[in-house]
């Protein structure tokens, strides 16, 4: 089964967020993303990069903001497509589906940020489109959030809930080591 790696939103806006000391899940995510990239590249498997470009000039992901730059650990190499999105899912309003179909991809491994936003949205879209998603549980991360009722949710809780809602019905949720041995 032809498998592609989708590296989602590993951009400097998130590194800037980390630098402020914001609580986040999965501190090993970037190392695991590097391992996935190394394996897919060594195997000659497709690697695609999905980058967020905010439309609000105050958005840290706006094309004119320093946060839009890619973190070095996830920098594309020559020949790896870069898909620009302005919403949550990497499939909506982008050529991603066509690129994958043209390459004969049947399964996608998803990693990046954040676990409960763009990676989860792209995972759900991939499942709806028949791409058999594998969500890399330790190659994604997220941040704590406060709900509309004022309840604070820790980053580790959000990460866990994201995995729990995807596992089985929508995606296979697997560790990087399991994915590398697939």
**pTM > 0.75: yes or no:** yes
Q: Given this model, what pLDDT does residue 89 score?
A: 98
* Cα four-point dihedral sign 83, 84, 90, 91: negative
pLDDT in tens, 97-150: 999 999 999 999 999 999 999 999 999 999 999 999 999 999 999 999 999 999
Question: Quick one: CA torsion of 12, 15, 20, 25, rounded to 10 degrees?
Answer: 140
On the question of pLDDT at 154 being above 90, the answer is yes
**Mean pLDDT, the chain, as a whole number?**
97
CA angle 7, 40, 4 (to 5 degrees): 55
pLDDT in tens, 21-43: 999 999 999 999 999 999 999 99
pLDDT band at 1 (very low <50, low <70, confident <90, very high): confident
Candidates 154, 156, 159; CA nearest to 173 is 159
- Return the CATH fold of 3-180: Rossmann fold (3.40.50)
pLDDT in tens, 103-115: 999 999 999 999 9
On the question of pLDDT at 182 being above 90, the answer is no
Q: Given this model, what pLDDT does residue 17 score?
A: 93
pLDDT band at 96 (very low <50, low <70, confident <90, very high): very high
Q: Given this model, what pLDDT does residue 102 score?
A: 97
Q: What is the 3-state secondary structure (H, E, C) of 109-166?
A: EEEEECCCCHHHHHHHHHHHCCCCEEEEEEEEECECEECCCCCEECHHHHHHHHHHHH
List the domain boundaries for the chain. 3-180
Q: Given this model, what pLDDT does residue 116 score?
A: 95
pLDDT in tens, 157-181: 999 999 999 999 999 999 999 999 9
- SS3 category, 65: coil
């Amino acid at each position: 089964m032809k498998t592609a790696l989708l590296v989602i939103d590993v951009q400097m806006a998130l590194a800037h967020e980390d630098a402020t000391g914001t609580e986040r899940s999965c501190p090993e995510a970037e190392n695991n993303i590097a391992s996935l990239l190394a394996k897919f590249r060594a195997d000659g498997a497709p690697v695609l990069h999905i980058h967020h470009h905010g439309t609000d000039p105050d958005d840290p992901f706006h094309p004119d903001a320093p946060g839009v730059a890619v973190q070095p650990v996830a920098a594309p190499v020559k020949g790896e497509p870069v898909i620009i999105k302005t919403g949550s899912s990497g499939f909506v309003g982008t050529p991603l589906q066509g690129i994958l179909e043209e390459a004969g991809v049947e399964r996608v491994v998803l990693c990046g940020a954040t676990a409960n936003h763009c990676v989860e949205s792209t995972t759900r879209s991939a499942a709806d489109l028949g791409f058999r998603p594998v969500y890399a549980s330790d190659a994604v991360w997220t941040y704590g959030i406060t709900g509309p009722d004022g309840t604070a949710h820790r980053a580790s809780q959000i990460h866990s809930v994201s995995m729990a809602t995807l596992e089985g019905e929508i995606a296979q949720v697997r560790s990087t080591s399991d994915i590398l041995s697939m």
